[in-house]
Structure 1
């Protein structure tokens, strides 16, 4: 039980705190889902009243301005890679705690939580909650993850994930009873709950009843050896990690807490996901969510997403669509009359950003790209207004990479920093660096005599990126820099960047362009190789110095110091101050050359689909794309998709 006398910074409880036996008096009689009725009648599945938790999460849709729906129907959507079936974990967005539409944390899988001084976190589970296979979901699943996975040297050689370490120390973790889990740190860990709400959650629990059959400490040795041999892996640890893939979502036998569970064996062109019979959410009329029975996810070529959406083959689609697709989508909307195209905002800090690799292996380019004058020159040589006009009809916002207007940290001066179109200044800065010698075509020469040809590698997935680089090619040629564009597969691109082979790359801006004081600014500091400007610094941080390179530039080290200030801060004012200083460093140092931000994201929605917001924000973090808008509340008219 919670002690009201304890010093509490945040206390959150679910909507329904009464046992379901008492709650049921205020709700209509629960009706069994037609989808599972046959299994219930055959005795293979308990009735719904026995499947839901004793205290389910009850959603008042009218209070949210939404309609109450009916169960049924199949929703069709598309992805462009087989591995992206994991988007069902993103879209489903069942989290211990999750963001609501206002980006405020609310309990979801948890019944509630208690926070004391950002050091002690008490997580309260829902009594009677079950995994999708009917096994109990209790504190034992957290204990299994903590003791038998995260701290097992063979399953997790690097130990628990980074966000569990504060000042290099791990928490004390205890499990007082079946529905209580306590994490306690010596120092504050203000970002702990927000990590749990991410689009890709850390999953600090596991379906222990299922996974123990693959764990050497629990399984019969002979049976485990047979499983290892059958799966053609080298060890029991490799076997366990193969099947323990809660985010990849490709093991149909792995129990889940998501609204839909994978029902497809192996990799298929069409992946089927069916409603989780033990899902913990109800609407206030007593109908178990999700409303939609099945989701069919088709894997198609990236170039076909817009065409197939135009033909009415998607009930809900945004992934794989971009601004350039709006005209063809509008035409299909008018001609076919089966869908509407909503235009949402985007949550990334920049639609397009160029990342000079400060850790490039080429010593000449490394030295040049580390000179801030070169990065500034490349930035001010870009005619962003022309790109916005030509590619986005002036509907985007030209400028440097920084947070969006919806963030309290937005400062127009940071968006304008080194983002003016000024070829004269670009020439002046490059001359100051000493790049004054040119060839017969006006291209500057590097200190070693090579032409100044900057190869920018792309994932080749967005036509607007290639179009923007074509415009930038002309801009840079005018200041003596030749841009060479090289499209690659996304995974190959990232591996080349991480290894230092790539000199520069292009991608989106920061995933989270909507930070609040509680948002960790770790992605602004060299803590992760995924930030393409400093992959080896990120590797060094992530591996505790075992790989990569230590940051050897003062501004980068200052970012790490400010991150530490945020992590140890005790007030929102102190955290906000750290955020603002870090954003100013990025604006001044131009680690990522932002081009435009805020271009509308088309979202195709079937005319028969309800509760999809007409206006929203398409964001990875925070928001999990459709997740923050609660896809389990979407429904088809009459339950027919």
Structure 2
């Protein structure tokens, strides 16, 4: 890892404090990843992290690598159970909710009247499959998704000008993207913080892995190849297929930017597992790549009663969603 890391308004994982400064850090990584590096199946850590990683200070002490976190969910409709563990927006709220701070992106700037906003990405950042994360992944969302009337006929409200037209998005460099609105938009960062790369609908995205999704888009794939993919997946149209493949928890194979990413399973399975992203942009205050936990396993339960019984039986490690507070005395025991 680079010996000198610039720390820019950094938000901690799961709502820990943020800071600004410069730190010299030593690199560390999960043993299972170190083994892959030694075997030659994974690049070394300094090639997997961006030039300026996201520093996530710990609460009490530096953690230890390993383990699977057990959670429970109620099926495909229980999407928020998943996103609470993998929130990966470009920017996000500070722990106390008082301001917006950088996350996957390194920072931003605006003009004096807030009609133009520039998002700065992290050079060297990569998707979970090792492909570069650049401005092209935002431009693909804008040109090939948002402006595609078949895929998103209604657009998205946060991108609309007062006259109903859509704001423009421009690639300035590989790591600088500019939004231009016809009127001041002081809510831009607030909206951006709510756009998670693992969200429940393509309407809630603002960046996607263009290199992966092009195979499901008619602009980049021949009709014959796309028709075969549509038929094999059991859909009638390319838009149906694309809407599934664009979301990690529905696709099961789509690369992501979060700390954990799906690895073959989806929310339609009885057990949905997300595993450590070897290219995650975040490190702790000592330079150890995050996350510490190897995987998160979501086990399906038919209803909240069954889920709470599982919690009482000690089958769930860490969860607030769907847990009845009336069960607290028993859970505490």
Short-chain TM bin: 0.7 to 0.9
* Rounded Cα–Cα distance in structure 1 between residues aligned with 2:180 and 2:194: 21
The answer on whether the counterparts of 1:85 and 1:250 sit within 8 Å (CA) in structure 2 is no
* Rounded Cα–Cα distance in structure 1 between residues aligned with 2:275 and 2:188: 31
Give deviations 1:374-414, integer Å, cap 9, x for gaps.
xxxxxxxxxxxxxxxxxxxxxxxxxxxxxxxxxxxxxxxxx
1:182-221 aligned within 5 A? 182-198=178-194, 202-221=204-223
Residue 104 (structure 2) aligns with: 109
> Does the residue aligned with 2:231 lie in a helix, a strand or coil?
helix
Superposition TM-score, scaled by structure 2 size: 0.85
Report the structure, 1 or 2, having the larger helix content: 1
The answer on whether the counterparts of 1:90 and 1:199 sit within 8 Å (CA) in structure 2 is no
Higher relative contact order, structure no. (Cα contacts within 8 Å, ≥ 6 residues apart) = 2
1:621-640 aligned within 5 A? none
* Rounded Cα–Cα distance in structure 1 between residues aligned with 2:9 and 2:95: 16
Residue 329 (structure 1) aligns with: 328
The answer on whether the counterparts of 1:79 and 1:299 sit within 8 Å (CA) in structure 2 is yes
Give deviations 1:93-141, integer Å, cap 9, x for gaps.
2211111211121000111101222211100000011111111110001
* Rounded Cα–Cα distance in structure 2 between residues aligned with 1:177 and 1:275: 30
Residue 40 (structure 2) aligns with: 43
* Rounded Cα–Cα distance in structure 1 between residues aligned with 2:123 and 2:206: 18
The answer on whether the counterparts of 2:68 and 2:296 sit within 8 Å (CA) in structure 1 is yes
Residue 168 (structure 2) aligns with: 172
* Rounded Cα–Cα distance in structure 2 between residues aligned with 1:82 and 1:161: 24
Aligned residue pairs, count: 306
* Rounded Cα–Cα distance in structure 1 between residues aligned with 2:275 and 2:72: 16
Deviation (angstroms), 1:196 = 1.9
Residue 76 (structure 1) aligns with: 70
The answer on whether the counterparts of 1:77 and 1:298 sit within 8 Å (CA) in structure 2 is yes
Give deviations 1:336-361, integer Å, cap 9, x for gaps.
xxxxxxxxxxxxxxxxxxxxxxxxxx
The answer on whether the counterparts of 2:10 and 2:103 sit within 8 Å (CA) in structure 1 is no
- Indicate the RMSD between aligned Cα atoms, in angstroms: 2.1
Deviation (angstroms), 1:217 = 0.9
1:154-553 aligned within 5 A? 154-158=150-154, 160-167=155-162, 168-198=164-194, 202-246=204-248, 249-266=249-266, 267-300=268-301, 301-323=303-325, 325=326, 328-334=327-333
Give deviations 1:564-623, integer Å, cap 9, x for gaps.
xxxxxxxxxxxxxxxxxxxxxxxxxxxxxxxxxxxxxxxxxxxxxxxxxxxxxxxxxxxx
- Structure number with greater Rg is 1
Moved more, 219-228 or 127-136: 219-228
Structure 2, unpaired ranges of 5+: 1-6, 12-21
* Rounded Cα–Cα distance in structure 1 between residues aligned with 2:139 and 2:181: 17
Deviation (angstroms), 1:237 = 2.6
Moved more, 259-268 or 52-61: 259-268
* Rounded Cα–Cα distance in structure 1 between residues aligned with 2:85 and 2:184: 31
The answer on whether the counterparts of 2:30 and 2:292 sit within 8 Å (CA) in structure 1 is no
> Does the residue aligned with 2:251 lie in a helix, a strand or coil?
coil
The answer on whether the counterparts of 1:113 and 1:123 sit within 8 Å (CA) in structure 2 is yes
> Does the residue aligned with 1:316 lie in a helix, a strand or coil?
coil
* Rounded Cα–Cα distance in structure 1 between residues aligned with 2:29 and 2:320: 32
* Rounded Cα–Cα distance in structure 1 between residues aligned with 2:80 and 2:262: 10
Residue 389 (structure 1) aligns with: none
Residues 188 and 100 of structure 1: is their aligned pair in 2 closer, same or farther, counting only changes over 3 Å?
same
Is 1:67 aligned to 2:61, yes or no?
yes
* Rounded Cα–Cα distance in structure 1 between residues aligned with 2:91 and 2:223: 38
Deviation (angstroms), 1:222 = 2.5
The answer on whether the counterparts of 1:306 and 1:320 sit within 8 Å (CA) in structure 2 is yes
Deviation (angstroms), 1:292 = 1.0
Structure 1, unpaired ranges of 5+: 1-11, 17-22, 335-641
Give deviations 1:529-563, integer Å, cap 9, x for gaps.
xxxxxxxxxxxxxxxxxxxxxxxxxxxxxxxxxxx
Give deviations 1:410-433, integer Å, cap 9, x for gaps.
xxxxxxxxxxxxxxxxxxxxxxxx
Deviation (angstroms), 1:85 = 4.8
* Rounded Cα–Cα distance in structure 1 between residues aligned with 2:245 and 2:69: 27
* Rounded Cα–Cα distance in structure 2 between residues aligned with 1:239 and 1:82: 17
The answer on whether the counterparts of 1:32 and 1:47 sit within 8 Å (CA) in structure 2 is no
Residues 60 and 251 of structure 1: is their aligned pair in 2 closer, same or farther, counting only changes over 3 Å?
same
